[in-house]
Chains A and B, each alone.
Chain A
């Protein structure tokens, strides 16, 4: 915390390089708490949006400084007021809800879910060892693409965004184009910046980082419009799904066609994770929730049948079981916007993910939702 205050003072006193200061603050914030990235980037987006209304460089500079101070204050408030669950996760300590509740008082479901989700999202390479990459990517975005992004957002707002296919493509196409440009820039500077791009996995990690940052920056100004537009577009389907979900949620697990040896399993954790879908804002977050739900299904089975007598083929989860379990878990969600989220993710998410393992889990989610839509009863 001392470091942050020190930098805050530095920002107030030094007006030399607004971008550098901004990046420094972002880097420090991220190093201290990955989970607050969302808040932080929302603040970054505020910076962009606010800047677009300012034409004078001096005013811009002052604005950035003020925003940096605000960001620091916001971050301090968050870290001071939140239970230290996030830090407990960061230090790899137990995140058991009961223990944390005893130590830190009542913890909201979202606060509990977030670190669980974060832990599982290691699958996607979003570990804290990637902080260096992430910092570099933010630097690249701000140093090379800031004005282009600002102009894009300004123009799109001026036009008045109407979510149809054309507009969808505009936002997604812009993100894809920027991703490619930024990646090329990173490739050119790979040695200087000490980034690793040798293996597919390393390239994939960089891709995730760029995607996340760009989604946060570009989608944020249009988020509400996009969601409300999709909501009205899928209203009928959503109502159908909700109606069927209501019926299906009363059914016992035995009726979902899951193999008998999996019927006695407690699916609490995957259900908790999928319920985190309601607090997601960006496509990559939604995808993470779906991936983590899928992984937690395997983890749950693994954990709960570990001590049972092993019977041939009973550790093999067939496609039918996996989809049936997913349908069952979806019937236990509290979200009334599942179709909206699906549409949002498909239209605004990273198209590169669609043919990967992530795409498989997304497809399972879409299939489960479609199954619910067309089947009022199991």
Chain B
């Protein structure tokens, strides 16, 4: 089809219950954190566009249920996703283990080009931290994931997260940043980059 809305890249947000999935999506799409002034908002499909590599990238961000009893339903949500944001709460170690489980599942069942981001949310609650940043960072590096610690409450690094995802999306064919930005703990090695290398090798032969 050549018409209707531009092809929005579907991003699914996964993670344990209460880690801040909905708040994260809301912060990015509306630049809001839910407080007493807001009317009722909730889980749904959020949309937003970002401009990266001279292109407008349209996101369709799908919030999901995190409770254990709904876990078997997750494939219905992440089907056809271009990216998965796997969120844990830095003050809840259990939620990090849950995030690891999600990473395994997405690596097994996600598309080959799926971009995966591991996000430690609630960075504003550093004094209650249970998950060390270094541990999460190393795990992300080992698994080729985008990694950031964010705060949906203050907005810290939320925008950066989606910009990084946009850069990594195969559909964007964005040039891989020459120097990966490590300022925010980005340790991802793009699958695109790996693919291009593979292509180059093939061409050489």
Chain A interface residues (CB < 8 Å from chain B):
176, 179-180, 183, 200, 203-204, 207, 257, 294, 298, 301-302, 305, 310-313, 315-324, 352, 354-357, 359-361, 363, 366-367, 370-371, 374-375
Taking a contact as CB atoms under 8 Å apart, the answer to whether A316 and B67 are in contact is no
| A318-B22, A320-B66, A363-B77 known; A352-B41 Cβ under 8 A | no
Asked whether B34 is an interface residue with its Cβ less than 8 Å from the other chain, the reply is: yes
- Report whether over half of chain B's contact residues are helix, strand or loop; otherwise say mixed: loop
Report the number of A-B residue pairs with Cβ-Cβ less than 8 Å: 123
Taking a contact as CB atoms under 8 Å apart, the answer to whether B45 and A180 are in contact is no
Whole-angstrom CA separation of A374 from B69 in the bound complex = 11
> Could you show 7 A-B contacts with beta carbons less than 8 Å apart?
A298-B41, A315-B39, A318-B18, A320-B70, A355-B10, A363-B77, A367-B65
Taking a contact as CB atoms under 8 Å apart, the answer to whether A257 and B38 are in contact is no
Taking a contact as CB atoms under 8 Å apart, the answer to whether A371 and B43 are in contact is no
Q: What 0/1 readout, one digit per residue, does chain B (63-106) give for beta carbons within 8 Å of chain A?
A: 11111011011001100100000000000000000000000000
Q: Give the segment of B1-9, B112-120, B160-168, B181-189 that binds chain A.
A: B1-9
Taking a contact as CB atoms under 8 Å apart, the answer to whether B43 and A356 are in contact is no
Whole-angstrom CA separation of A374 from B62 in the bound complex = 23
Q: Which residues of A contact B41 (CB under 8 A)?
A: 298, 315-317
Taking a contact as CB atoms under 8 Å apart, the answer to whether A257 and B22 are in contact is no
Asked whether B44 is an interface residue with its Cβ less than 8 Å from the other chain, the reply is: yes
Distance (whole angstroms) from the CB of A66 to the closest CB of chain B: 37
Distance (whole angstroms) from the CB of B40 to the closest CB of chain A: 4
8 closest cross-chain pairs (CB), A and B: A317-B42, A360-B45, A319-B43, A319-B65, A322-B43, A302-B40, A367-B73, A323-B65
Q: Which residues of A contact B39 (CB under 8 A)?
A: 302, 315
Whole-angstrom CA separation of A283 from B157 in the bound complex = 41
Asked whether B35 is an interface residue with its Cβ less than 8 Å from the other chain, the reply is: yes
New A-B pairs, 6, CB < 8 Å, besides A180-B1, A200-B6: A203-B4, A302-B40, A315-B38, A317-B43, A318-B65, A363-B62
Question: Which of A294, A319, A352, A354 counts the most B-chain CB atoms under 10 A from its CB?
Answer: A319
| A298-B40, A305-B40, A318-B22 known; A367-B76 Cβ under 8 A | yes
Whole-angstrom CA separation of A245 from B67 in the bound complex = 21
Q: Which residues of A contact B70 (CB under 8 A)?
A: 320, 323, 367, 371
Chain B interface residues (CB < 8 Å from chain A):
1-6, 8, 10, 17-18, 21-23, 26, 34-36, 38-45, 47, 60, 62-67, 69-70, 72-73, 76-77, 80
Q: Which residues of B contact A357 (CB under 8 A)?
A: 44-45, 47, 60
Taking a contact as CB atoms under 8 Å apart, the answer to whether A313 and B42 are in contact is no
Q: Which residues of B contact A204 (CB under 8 A)?
A: 4-5
